[in-house]
Amino acid sequence: MKTLSQSATAPDFVQNPYPFYEAARDAGPLVFWQDYDMPAAMSLDLVSAIFKNRKFGREVPEEMAPVIPDHVKDFYAVEAHSMLELEPPRHTRLRSLVLRAFTTRSIAALEEEIDALCHELIDTFPEGPFDLLEAYCTQVPIITIARLLGVPDEMAPQFLAWSHAMVTMYTAGRTRADEEAANTAAREFIEYLTGYIDQRRQTPSDDLISRLIAAEEEGEKLSTEELITTCVLLLNAGHEATVHSMGNGVKTLLETGLQTNWLAPDAIDQTVEEILRYDPPLHMFTRYAYEDIEVAGHTFKRGDQIALMLGAANRDPAGWENPNRFDPTRKIKTNTAFGGGLHFCVGAPLARLEMKIALPILFDRCPDLSLVGTPKYANAYHFHGLERLEVTL
């Protein structure tokens, strides 16, 4: 296994990590990423295989559970109940309860509302250059999720602020100040949702929080702590992934030279999947080995971590011909943008729906949309999304 060094905060890497992925993949499906001090799976086949291998998982092995510092206790109190960080049987119970409320039907029912929201947002676009990321790509998912949960639209900016603060905990180079801000956001998020959930217990409505409260599996329901964490997860993960996917997608479409047929009703599914493959919103997920196991010639001991490189897997030539070319006419093939296995993103259908609605409306309403300068990616790895998306109409 070859050892490679690459800072995740180096400016060149932040703006374009794909050359590093290509060089790493050429060295083999598994390399040792020195800066993260762990092996990294670079090929589509290996990433997909580890996602499905139950000998690897997200939950920290019991004997390795870290001592949580006081200044991040509120943040990790939320994380303790996150199905993203748990394995069966707790993960199975939580996910099945959430899916009883977060159904395909409930997501599909949002279509008209998302359509109307997109038009409302476009109606408020300024005439001069402006940041499309803030004006559109961020607003569509955050307002949609707020409405899905049943909380007032006016809470969306506050949710956004809490979400931004909390997700810095997953970024390379986070600071003590970032950790304290994330903890404060988690504490305030908990306080707000505790009161709101209590209110919904008294007066249920036709919203996701009410359905989560009512969801029952073999006599079991979600605790208040689990409800809070699930709402935080849906807001943070759902909003972050869709914002970056939509922003990266608009950038790529404009830089490539948009063909109008790419956004036609019979082609939009392929275009969305190609956006997700070509420039995904999340580039790394880690897993722990739960027993001694050999993978790609390397022996993992229980507790060893492996990085699953989603951005690298999605550009693997073994999976796609000319993978560095953006081609919305490709036949759809499963990519790793939303993970895989039992942790496959529960919000993926909503993210895809939002993009399928928001992108055609945007380019139909704004046919002369164009970039102002070259968009820059934010230094927030392992997320991969833009700082701003300056455009003109």
Residue 206: is its pLDDT beyond 90? no
pLDDT at 107 over 80: yes
Nearest alpha carbon to residue 309 among 274, 289, 290, 336: 336
Quick one: pLDDT at residue 103?
81
Strands 30-33 and 298-300: unpaired
**Of 157-171, 181-195, 204-218, which gets the smallest average pLDDT?**
204-218
Confidence of residue 347 (pLDDT cuts 50, 70, 90): confident
Mean pLDDT over 370-390 rounds to 95
**Residue 373: pLDDT band by 50, 70, 90 thresholds?**
very high
CA–CA separation, 124 and 312 (whole Å): 38
Note the pLDDT of residue 217.
58
Q: Which residues form the domain of 292?
A: 3-392
The predicted-structure confidence for 252-305, as pLDDT tens digits, reads as follows 999 999 888 999 999 999 999 999 999 999 999 999 999 999 999 999 999 999
Could you tell me the pTM of the whole model? 0.92
* Mean pLDDT to the nearest integer, 222-244: 86
**Helices vs. strands in the chain: H and E counts, helices first:** 16, 11
* Predicted pLDDT of residue 248: 97
| Mean pLDDT within 71-86 | 91
Question: Which of 145-154, 214-223, 232-241 is predicted most confidently?
Answer: 145-154
Q: What is the C-alpha to C-alpha distance for residues 114 and 353, in angstroms, rounded to an integer?
A: 9
CA-based nearest residue to 378, from 173, 84, 238, 129 = 173
User: Mean pLDDT in the chain?
Assistant: 92
As a dihedral over the C-alpha atoms of residue 311, residue 266, residue 344, residue 152, rounded to 10 degrees, the angle is: 100
In single-letter form, the type of residue at position 180 comes to E
Q: What is the DSSP letter of 220?
A: B
Write down the pLDDT at residue 94.
87
pLDDT band at 216 (very low <50, low <70, confident <90, very high): low
User: Given this model, what pLDDT does residue 147 score?
Assistant: 86
Domain count, the chain: 1
Q: How confident is the model at residue 156 (pLDDT cuts 50, 70, 90)?
A: confident
Q: Residue 63's domain is classified under what CATH number?
A: 1.10.630.10
Question: Is the bond into 89 cis (omega within 30 degrees of 0)?
Answer: yes
